[in-house]
């Protein structure tokens, strides 16, 4: 029985990089005897919104809820549609309603990608950011009082539940335990955010007891961001709340040269619901339609998807092909100083898959 993948290209360059992602998955699936079936959906896009007045059909959960995974391009078009409509109407909905409580992103310096950090080489930076993806600072609890007066004030709550905190920590500790260095770093700010963050610290300490083989430490988020720049080699698995994880998983890829090639997974580890795999870059209206977008983030997200489905060998074959492609100047896209267009780069990766 093939894996059933819901394919959602979305907006802008999402539509351009998606074919390359599919091409490479097909190549790897063929080589490694993995059966996949792609089902295409046009919703979760501005085009769909324009026609139907909403981002997704009412029965979106029925349409994609029983797939094995969702392969997602990009959504949003700030000039045409507000973020809170496009993003909260699709991406954030997936995260919440499919209980994708893990947001997972690799931070890895790749060959051929110049590091903005002086003197760092491929191999020097190689860690994972594990972000809590459903609660924390992204609650919708709060409000405004005394509007339009001098006494006006606005509040919003950060909400941390025992269930929510423990399950993301468990995922992060398990991941750390599976890695050679077995090292976990927790992002906190308990010296300033005096109620929720000490609770986070407390749960980290409790969870650590279950993983005696994992060395762990914690840093306040301010100095942690500084250490991403000054000592990126210190990290192996970094876990943070929804907001801190969001920050670290943009900063980390930036430290490895570009967020243009970074992949991500929005994961429900229990597989009660499909997980979403998408490149970190957005729809990029400024370069959309030119066929020059870098497809590596989309392709790498495909590798993460195969890994999640249990197809480790096929996944690793794709990552290896990405590395070999990036190493060749002529096969890289222009944003990385190459001269390949989106399709040429995607085809190169597909051919490199072994």
191 binds ligand IPM (CB under 6 A): yes
First to last CA, the chain: 23
Nearest to 120 by CA among 280, 217, 2, 234: 234
Q: Using a CB cutoff of 8 Å and minimum separation of 24, what contacts does 56-60 make?
A: 56/89, 56/90, 56/93
Which of 222, 229, 330, 354 lies at the binding interface for ligand IPM (CB under 6 A)? 222
217 binds ligand IPM (CB under 6 A): no
Q: How many residues bind a second copy (CB under 8 A)?
A: 61
Report the residue number, 162 or 271, with the smaller CB distance to a second copy: 162
The dihedrals phi and psi of 45, each to the nearest 5 degrees, come to: -155, 160
156 binds ligand IPM (CB under 6 A): no
Query: Which range in 24-32, 141-149, 208-216, 336-344 contacts a second copy by CB under 8 A?
Result: 141-149
Q: Distance between CA atoms of 168 and 170, rounded to whole angstroms? A: 5
Nearest to 259 by CA among 212, 296, 207, 206: 296
287 binds a second copy (CB under 8 A): no
Report the residue number, 238 or 314, with the smaller CB distance to a second copy: 238
Whether 241 contacts 200, CB under 8 Å: yes
Report the residue number, 217 or 354, with the smaller CB distance to a second copy: 217
Q: Which helix (H) or strand (E) holds 226?
A: helix 221-230
- Binding characters for a second copy, 201-240, by CB under 8 A (x = yes): --------------------xxx-xxx-xx----------
138 binds a second copy (CB under 8 A): yes
Q: Which helix (H) or strand (E) holds 217?
A: strand 215-220
Contacts of residue 171, defined as CB under 8 A and 6 or more positions apart, other chains included, come to 102, 130, 269
Site for a second copy, residues 34 to 93, rule: CB under 8 A:
83-84, 87-88
Report the residue number, 17 or 352, with the smaller CB distance to ligand IPM: 17
Which of 192, 289, 291, 337 lies at the binding interface for ligand IPM (CB under 6 A)? 192
Site for ligand IPM, residues 65 to 94, rule: CB under 6 A:
87
The tokens for 340 are: 């390949």
- The H-assigned helical ranges of 256-354 are 296-308, 312-326, 342-352
Where do contacts with ligand IPM occur on this chain (CB under 6 A)? Answer: 87, 191-192, 222, 246
Binding site for a second copy (CB under 8 A): 83-84, 87-88, 114-119, 137-138, 140-144, 149-163, 189-196, 199, 221-223, 225-227, 229-230, 242-243, 246-247, 249-251, 253-255, 258-259
């Amino acid at each position: 029985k093939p894996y059933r993948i819901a394919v959602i290209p979305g907006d802008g360059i999402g539509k351009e990089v998606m074919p390359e992602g599919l091409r490479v998955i097909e190549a790897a699936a063929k080589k490694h005897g993995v059966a996949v079936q792609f089902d295409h959906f046009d919703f979760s896009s501005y085009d769909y919104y324009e026609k139907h007045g909403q981002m997704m059909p009412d029965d979106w959960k029925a349409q994609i809820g029983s797939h094995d995974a969702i392969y997602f391009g990009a959504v949003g078009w700030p000039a045409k549609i507000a973020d809170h409509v496009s993003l909260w109407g699709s991406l954030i909905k997936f995260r919440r309603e499919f209980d994708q409580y893990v947001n997972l992103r690799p931070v890895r310096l790749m060959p051929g990608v110049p590091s903005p950090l002086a003197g760092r080489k491929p191999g020097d930076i190689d860690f994972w950011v594990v972000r809590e993806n459903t609660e924390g600072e992204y609650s919708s609890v709060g409000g405004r009082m005394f509007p339009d007066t001098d006494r006006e004030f606005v509040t919003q709550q950060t909400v941390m539940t025992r269930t929510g905190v423990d399950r993301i920590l468990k995922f992060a500790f398990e991941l750390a335990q599976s890695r050679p260095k077995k090292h976990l770093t927790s992002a906190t700010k308990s010296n300033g955010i005096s109620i929720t963050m000490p609770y986070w610290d407390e749960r980290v300490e409790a969870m650590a007891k279950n993983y005696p083989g994992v060395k762990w430490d914690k840093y306040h988020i301010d100095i942690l961001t500084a250490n991403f720049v000054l000592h990126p080699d210190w990290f192996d698995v970094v876990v943070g709340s929804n907001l801190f994880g969001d920050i670290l998983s943009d900063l980390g890829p930036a430290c490895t040269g570009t967020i243009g090639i970074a992949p991500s997974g929005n994961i429900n580890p229990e597989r009660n619901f499909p997980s979403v795999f998408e490149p970190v870059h957005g729809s990029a209206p400024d370069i959309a339609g030119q066929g020059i977008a870098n497809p590596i983030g989309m392709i790498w997200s495909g590798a993460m998807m195969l890994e999640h489905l249990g197809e480790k060998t096929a996944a690793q074959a794709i990552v290896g092909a990405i590395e070999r492609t990036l190493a060749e100047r002529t096969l890289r896209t222009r944003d990385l100083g190459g001269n390949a267009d989106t399709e040429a780069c995607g085809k190169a990766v597909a051919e490199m898959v072994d």
